Structure 1
């Protein structure tokens, strides 16, 4: 008789039957279902199954928490149900069918931009700082900037552009690389494609709007001419070109014999992709940009300018996300030359402020989520200095509601700006310093608009986020967990008077030592509700500084995730069962960046290497490296944990079995 016969029968019935299962897979602790109709799942009945520790829905997947024995349960379930399990990537793809088109598009953009976020944050801070020292006239009665009066600041201003240009002008290279990485095709081809979009042989994309058509260089093929236009800073063209390359490569991979694949496929994929990028994708991108520019110009000159202001303020942030916002520079320049000023630029500066204020709301909401703050704080500073990409792609688009709150605040502020006639002397100074580009007679009006752009998004984000964000996203501890500072060791109530044992290379059999070098933290701080709420059991977590995970005690390896390499189960000599899980949601990486050093049935000693991981790959995939040590079955033991300090693997005690 199967071990889980009754449980799998009940689960199949309560989940809606075989017909309701679109796909199923499993990770180290959970069954992962994609359901045809998630509403058919009887959550209460499923959680009442003895071996089920809980359920939740995430990213279109209905997840049933089983524990270390999930592999056995999975095999019995799929056999009884008469269905075949699929890969985790297939489950992830199938889960997208439970998302609406907007969710799928936003999700795809998020996956493409996740590896680029660190560069965007760095570039945002650099460009914001350059704005302050080179574009803001603080000296000489408002006529000179720091770079005008100091050779040092002028040199620094020019030097920093080397990095800023590499990040923002050459953004298509990062995008095409990220797409090929996400889709599993040849990444170097993606990089080469991106380079062809920003080659110095081409007319710089930022100069196209101000260059006469007859002065644009062309490739002359005799029967046809193709304009040599670069796509510096463009997003839509790069995304479309990247996917053209991906699907061409996949097509030729299928039809090409393996013996000549390495020679034929790169050529047949890359050359047409570059040609299509410059003959189809590029022109389409510019047509979209021209359309937007014409709409903006008409709105500024119409009798319904307040409505235009509301729409422009509402939609400017999404336009930035497409890279098409650069077209507004040509409009602003024309307005300055014709009328001696522009009232378009103030609305752009206000949109920057509004999105930054939404991030400020996230900073308050996530004040106890240290990992989130590492992105939130730099993104907010960058936004307030006029560069919004880090905030948009790193924070606001990720959660969606801050983006919408910022858009609403921007719309309100834009109406005030246009309604009171706020006009800028020139373009180039965004965010909070934007007031320095406004004619002095409009400063009071612009300050009122700025205040609106700060308060409205901030308040809306706090109100909506307090309901939308989960406890783990806000970095809050579980109910009843101590809120003490991290430097205070965490212990169970029964042994609160005990202190952690000193570090030593010799430990008793009931002592669990650190599985990694780094810092040990309470389990409640883990950004995953299954672990942080103790669903899988009590334990501790680590923020590792090295790249290897070690055995916490003498034990036998009972289970390994051979296909992903991110987790393993152990059984100590007294029967205590342990789970080690490297990173959060790292199962999605499919084993990329992980190396298992053990197999099921192996005997290990305390301090033996179990798993090696690549922290950079985990970060690039958008996952935390937080690693959990869970006592899934303590038997008759009680557990005392010691957290809030730096530890060394194999030596520092982190838990004791009483």
Structure 2
């Protein structure tokens, strides 16, 4: 038995025993379980284990964060449990069996919208900025906007609509592309299908309501006519059409001889899907989407709208945990298309703020606990900027009462928000910047709602935490004054090695590119600091090199996307190429070293294909985490600058 045998036995008991394991695998840092009955897992007990750094549930998988030693832990676990591990793809397939139809539909929607979120955020920011320059009457005693006062800003307002229109009016193009990417079919066909839904030959969807029925253009086929209507900003028509294209392509690919498949498959699948989209699916999807948006709109504006606001504000954060919140993207976009605005998005932004304010309460309660603040502070900041997962999973759910306090604050703000009919004309910008997406006439009232979302959760968390006698702790952490090129520095508690190990050494950049703090990486586990202190590089080249002299101690032979190093000064590092690139199963990655091999500063470790990572829909940002700081008392993380591999110092240990 290995060194993790006892921990493995404890974990086996806490997850509900061997009979509760549907499937198990691991990636570079985490054990991945599909549990037959997730309710049997003692999450609090698991997170209390010394070998465990945290846990979370995602897409039907229960993931336990172990760190660099996960491969050894996994081997000991399967030996102790008497189970056989499976591939990560098999775990995903098993996880889907754990999901009901609704959960699978939500997972599909989440996977469709995930690649589109950056564009939607940009579009929301653009429209928010245009709000400020063309709709806020701030000049000449409140009678004129900036665009009316300045020809430059008037031109800028008009110019920026290029981006806003491309994001929201042309949304069906992005949806069709994303569906084909998810389904593994030809993505250019998805793009073309999307373009046929928003073609300039069609009557713009925004003009349908104001156009007389006899003035709507149509295709005349003699025996019947089909209206030439576009589907700008429509979600369901695009999703239905795209899935039809995917299944048609798979069908024709299966029955068509290989020698003629290049012609027959794309021609038949695209032609039939475009016909289906305009003849059947488009009109049906439009009616279904309109029906959903009308029901939601009735709830927001009806006699019980205050109750709706309270309930939605209270339950939105739990929806984030289950993944159900992804459905609100489609509903928001449909509301904007049908009613030229959405009252859901403002409440979503307020929920972000409320959970961040609960973390702010924890920051106050744990002001003397330097280690806790390493997680609390970045989680609070990211939450205020609209990304709630680090706050929810990293802080609030661990203590539970901050999570509930945040829900209560969100409900209070939601009541006021709906009562005042606060409306956004775009989505994507959450948290405090969410005010940019609000229609100018409602901005003052939304500011009041934001104040409620800040004050109520903070006060409740502070009061409840104090009554619970939450210990602030006194773990010391020395802060290092920022130097030229340094954006953050933090002390890290040491272990029990030789007193000089881990001290007085600098490590160099492992890639060419911009060096950034972990909080900018955008991954919950790394950004929260669960794996440890570190930084990341946005790469400009394709070969990871060793930041110093040491030995290769961890490799992932099946995915080849990460490597663990034991440096000569006793520090252990994990270098992880890309975010979620484990899904690529090694395609595009090549190890240039072997397990146990000695390396020096600048030794090539991994070569990766940036284009393949991009085409797979992943970020190629490469993370370096200190998983064991040895005896170092201070680590200087030198970020906010461009690094050159094997030249620029990025970490200093003292």
TM-score over 0.5 (shorter chain): yes
CA distance in 1, matches of 2:46, 2:409: 37
Equivalent residues in 2 for 1:171-186, closer than 5 Å: 171-186=171-186
3-state SS of the aligned residue for 1:323?
helix
The one of 320, 326, 332 equivalent to 1:321 is: 332
Give 1 or 2 for the bigger CA radius of gyration: 1
Distance 1:630 1:374, change over 3 A: closer
Superposition deviation, residue 117 in structure 1: 2.4
Bigger Cα displacement from structure 2, 160-169 vs 542-551: 542-551
Bigger Cα displacement from structure 2, 66-75 vs 53-62: 66-75
Distance 1:141 1:27, change over 3 A: closer
Match of 2:230 in 1: 230
CA distance in 2, matches of 1:58, 1:296: 29
Contact conserved, 1:519 with 1:644, CA < 8 A, in 2?
no
**1:164-196 deviation line (CA, Å, top 9, x unaligned):** 211111111112212222333322122111111
Bigger Cα displacement from structure 2, 101-110 vs 122-131: 101-110
Match of 1:56 in 2: 55
Distance 1:41 1:553, change over 3 A: same
CA distance in 2, matches of 1:407, 1:83: 45
Distance 1:31 1:197, change over 3 A: same
Superposition deviation, residue 568 in structure 1: 1.7
Contact conserved, 1:571 with 1:577, CA < 8 A, in 2?
yes
**1:197-254 deviation line (CA, Å, top 9, x unaligned):** 1011111111111112222222233343322211111122222222222333334444
Equivalent residues in 2 for 1:9-158, closer than 5 Å: 15-41=15-41, 52-53=51-52, 56-59=55-58, 60-64=60-64, 68=68, 70-71=70-71, 74=74, 85-98=85-98, 105-136=105-136, 145-148=145-148, 150-158=150-158
The yes-or-no answer on 1:307 pairing with 2:304 is yes
Contact conserved, 2:136 with 2:145, CA < 8 A, in 1?
yes
Match of 2:510 in 1: 515
Contact conserved, 2:28 with 2:68, CA < 8 A, in 1?
yes
Match of 1:542 in 2: 536
Match of 1:166 in 2: 166
Equivalent residues in 2 for 1:79-478, closer than 5 Å: 85-98=85-98, 105-136=105-136, 145-148=145-148, 150-288=150-288, 291=291, 306-307=303-304, 320-329=331-340, 353-361=346-354, 377=385, 409-415=413-419, 431=438, 433-434=440-441, 453-459=449-455
Residue-pair matches, total: 582
CA distance in 2, matches of 1:254, 1:164: 40
The yes-or-no answer on 1:609 pairing with 2:600 is no
Contact conserved, 1:114 with 1:622, CA < 8 A, in 2?
no
Contact conserved, 1:8 with 1:80, CA < 8 A, in 2?
yes
**1:281-311 deviation line (CA, Å, top 9, x unaligned):** 21123323554687799999xxx95336765
Distance 1:460 1:212, change over 3 A: farther
Superposition deviation, residue 361 in structure 1: 4.3
The yes-or-no answer on 1:650 pairing with 2:654 is no
Contact conserved, 1:29 with 1:70, CA < 8 A, in 2?
yes
Match of 2:373 in 1: none
Match of 1:441 in 2: none
Distance 1:618 1:374, change over 3 A: farther
3-state SS of the aligned residue for 2:602?
coil
Q: Which runs of 5+ in 2 are unaligned?
A: 314-327, 361-375, 397-402, 423-435, 464-471
Q: Which runs of 5+ in 1 are unaligned?
A: 330-347, 380-390, 419-428, 437-446, 468-475, 502-509
CA distance in 1, matches of 2:143, 2:506: 69
Distance 1:589 1:143, change over 3 A: same
Contact conserved, 2:634 with 2:653, CA < 8 A, in 1?
no
3-state SS of the aligned residue for 2:544?
strand
Match of 1:338 in 2: none
Contact conserved, 1:571 with 1:578, CA < 8 A, in 2?
yes
Bigger Cα displacement from structure 2, 403-412 vs 170-179: 403-412
Distance 1:499 1:203, change over 3 A: same
Match of 2:624 in 1: 628
Distance 1:531 1:561, change over 3 A: farther
Contact conserved, 2:355 with 2:388, CA < 8 A, in 1?
no
